[in-house]
A and B are shown apart, each in its own frame.
Chain A
Amino acid sequence: MSATTVRAYSGRRSTMAALRLSFLQFMADPQWLIPSMIAPVIFGLVSFELFRGEGHYYLTYAILGAGMMSMWGQTLYGSGWATGQDRVFGTLEPTLQAPTPYLYVVLGRVIWNVASGLLGGLIVYLVVVGVAGSPPAVPNPVAFVLLFIFVMLTLAAVGVVFAAFYVYTRYAGFIQNIGEFAFYVGTGCMFPVVLLPFWTNPIALFFPPTWALDALRYASIPGYPGFAWGFWPDIAGAVGTTAAYLLLAGAVFRRVERHVLEVGNLADY
């Protein structure tokens, strides 16, 4: 038996290949950029009206609210959606037959989705600042931007777990549509968790963006009441839950890739 010690694939290279594929597919129809730019504009305008006059930091609240709303979908579901597309195109089978674990492909798409999600955040920022006529009073703009990106990354970690669900079953999209709004509210992305009924808290606490977003609110809104114990515990909570999600994603993907070979539903769409 001529066992080989050479691994046939490179995970990093496959991730870059998936990122490149996302870019090429986007460039094939760049006009899709327009609808995905309209949503952040609308969210920004609505959010501005909602928070107008709510204290000194209403602009920050407006930007965070609308920013999360517009980035949420892309980052959280974008990778899963792409997997669903793999089912529709019939490319899921050849992709899984390749030596590279599918997780690396998903990671490439996550990078793409985080990048395009951030574009939505930028649009929201420009719209809100545009209608307000002045930038928000943010004590530390650098921390604000870094934490914003951090929120996106924690969101993306959850997106990876979601993507596994799309490999698992072709009904993932259907289930996601039902659960989406409840999930969005329940996790404290729309309103701060402190405003939500107590029973939703466990969901929120096992959701990394809750922590990251709370940290972001602490850092950018002086006097923010928060739901936890301060800025650094929030960061720790975000890092911890994100790590848990990434570990979960690794385990879930291995299982799911095995499960679909057992069931034989890779060609379903």
Chain B
Amino acid sequence: MLTRSNDGPAIEVRDVRRVFESRKGFLFRERTRTEALKGVDLTVERGSIFGLLGPNGAGKTTLTKILSTLLLPTSGTALVLGHDVTKETDWLRPRMGLVLGGERGLYNRISGRDNLRYFADLYGVPLTEREGRIREVLERVGLTDAADRRTEEYSRGMKQKLHIARGILHRPEILFLDEPTIGLDPKSARETRKLIRSLVTDGVTIFLTTHYMFEAEELCPKLAILSKGRIVARDTVDGLRTLVGGDRTIEAEAYGFEDAEVESLKHLPGVSKVVAEEFGPSMRLTLRVRTTETAIAEVRSALPGHPELAVRDRRTSLEDVYLDLVEEEAR
């Protein structure tokens, strides 16, 4: 039996940077330099699910691979369970599970069960417990009936479940899930999220990346937003809502607004932000406000001369916050 690690944070990342020097072609090389992580600081407490949210190319996979010992940071330090990911891989690897997911990453010509047997051996799952554990995880992810079929016959969702089964087979203390529902149909995605929630037991820490805000909102009590290699926010879902200066959002739609009108809205009391965007044939203004008590009426009167004007308000969603943060970073 492996000893469990002591208390302290599950993950501590200090100023981690990662540069990729990629070369295209073998003989005639074209060099490109990508700074995927530009100084990331992050602390993740033990237990529950921590979400790392960010658009494509933000650096989520890069950070996941660094934490799971598949990639070295160019600089900075990263500790997982109190151990250095660049030096203490022998200690860390048996205590970590990694689910990169996707169509690939499995031996397609053999059965799901044989895939699990192989990795159980490589992870040193006690031989006497191997078959029982495999049955247990197959049951848990709902693949018992398909266990002896070749994985090339599996649907995308079933492959994802098998990836997760492999990730938990050796009972890791920390589990990394990189975009676990990407590419799944809505039903499989829902099943997968349900499965992930069920994994939060016995103090296992789950580090999950996603580019779906609703997924982070549904699964992750705490999260960080990564944009272009930087953490731009780190909080609870409710904390993030207040971060943009209000937890209500007003949307005003019409066939076009003057710049002056947009400017005047920005000066209304309680309005922290106004974004104008094309919305089909019309234009939409999105306002972040602290309270809507008077705001709707004020917005209406600030936008005269639009008979087709529609104004409504709603609770600010995490998606709004997320887009705000990611857009701010982009500007």
Taking Cβ atoms with an 8 Å cutoff, the residues of A that contact B are 1-4, 6-10, 13-14, 16-18, 20-21, 24-25, 28-29, 89-91, 93-100, 105, 171, 174, 258, 261-264, 266
Q: Which residues of A lie under 8 Å from residue B18 when comparing CB positions?
A: 264
Interface 9-mer from B92-100, B192-200, B290-298, B307-315: B92-100
B1-30 CB contacts (< 8 Å) to partner A: 1-6, 18, 20-21, 26
Smallest CB-CB A-B distances: 4 pairs:
A90-B104, A8-B94, A17-B121, A28-B109
Q: Which of A16, A99, A258 contacts B93 (CB 8 A)?
A: A99
Q: Which residues of B lie under 8 Å from residue A97 when comparing CB positions?
A: 68-70, 93, 96, 98
Rounded to whole Å, the gap between the CB of A215 and the closest CB of chain B is: 36
Question: B107 near A91 (CB under 8 angstroms)?
Answer: yes
Rounded to whole Å, the gap between the CB of A190 and the closest CB of chain B is: 28
Question: A28 near B70 (CB under 8 angstroms)?
Answer: no
Q: Considering the chains assembled together, what is the distance between the CA atoms of A64 and B100 in angstroms? A: 47
Rounded to whole Å, the gap between the CB of A83 and the closest CB of chain B is: 14
Rounded to whole Å, the gap between the CB of B114 and the closest CB of chain A is: 6
Q: Can you list, as one digit per residue, whether each of B85-116 has a CB less than 8 Å from chain A (1) or not (0)?
A: 00000110110101010101111111000100
CB nearest to B85 among chain A residues: A261
A-B residue pairs in contact (CB < 8 Å), sample of 7: A1-B6, A9-B122, A17-B117, A91-B106, A91-B107, A97-B69, A99-B122
CB nearest to A259 among chain B residues: B72
Question: A25 near B121 (CB under 8 angstroms)?
Answer: no
Q: Considering the chains assembled together, what is the distance between the CA atoms of A174 and B2 in angstroms? A: 42
Q: Considering the chains assembled together, what is the distance between the CA atoms of A257 and B110 in angstroms? A: 26
Q: Which residues of B lie under 8 Å from residue A261 when comparing CB positions?
A: 69-72
Q: Considering the chains assembled together, what is the distance between the CA atoms of A29 and B110 in angstroms? A: 10
Which residue among A1, A171, A266 has the maximum number of chain B CB atoms within 10 Å of its CB? A1
Q: Considering the chains assembled together, what is the distance between the CA atoms of A6 and B23 in angstroms? A: 41
Q: Which residues of B lie under 8 Å from residue A8 when comparing CB positions?
A: 2, 90, 93-94, 123-124
Rounded to whole Å, the gap between the CB of A104 and the closest CB of chain B is: 8
Question: A94 near B100 (CB under 8 angstroms)?
Answer: yes
Rounded to whole Å, the gap between the CB of A19 and the closest CB of chain B is: 11
Q: Which of A2, A21, A99, A105 contacts B110 (CB 8 A)?
A: A21
Q: Which residues of A lie under 8 Å from residue B300 when comparing CB positions?
A: none
B166 located at the interface, meaning its Cβ lies under 8 Å from any Cβ of chain A in the complex: yes
Q: Considering the chains assembled together, what is the distance between the CA atoms of A32 and B108 in angstroms? A: 16
Q: Which residues of A lie under 8 Å from residue B1 when comparing CB positions?
A: 6
CB nearest to A5 among chain B residues: B3
Given contacts A8-B2, A20-B118, A174-B26, contact A3 B124 (CB under 8 A): no
Given contacts A21-B110, A97-B69, A264-B20, contact A10 B104 (CB under 8 A): no
CB nearest to A16 among chain B residues: B121
Q: Considering the chains assembled together, what is the distance between the CA atoms of A171 and B127 in angstroms? A: 37
B39 located at the interface, meaning its Cβ lies under 8 Å from any Cβ of chain A in the complex: no
B65 located at the interface, meaning its Cβ lies under 8 Å from any Cβ of chain A in the complex: yes
Rounded to whole Å, the gap between the CB of B248 and the closest CB of chain A is: 43
Question: B122 near A3 (CB under 8 angstroms)?
Answer: no
Question: A93 near B117 (CB under 8 angstroms)?
Answer: no
Rounded to whole Å, the gap between the CB of B26 and the closest CB of chain A is: 5
Q: Which of A6, A7, A105, A266 contacts B122 (CB 8 A)?
A: A105
Q: Considering the chains assembled together, what is the distance between the CA atoms of A9 and B94 in angstroms? A: 8
Q: Considering the chains assembled together, what is the distance between the CA atoms of A2 and B102 in angstroms? A: 35
Which residue among A2, A6, A10, A105 has the maximum number of chain B CB atoms within 10 Å of its CB? A2
Q: Which residues of B lie under 8 Å from residue A2 when comparing CB positions?
A: 3-6
Question: B6 near A100 (CB under 8 angstroms)?
Answer: no
Question: A89 near B104 (CB under 8 angstroms)?
Answer: yes
Which residue among A7, A14, A91, A99 has the maximum number of chain B CB atoms within 10 Å of its CB? A99
Q: Considering the chains assembled together, what is the distance between the CA atoms of A268 and B116 in angstroms? A: 24
Q: Considering the chains assembled together, what is the distance between the CA atoms of A105 and B105 in angstroms? A: 16
Beyond A1-B83, A17-B117: 6 further Cβ-contacts under 8 Å? A4-B2, A6-B3, A89-B106, A93-B105, A97-B98, A98-B122
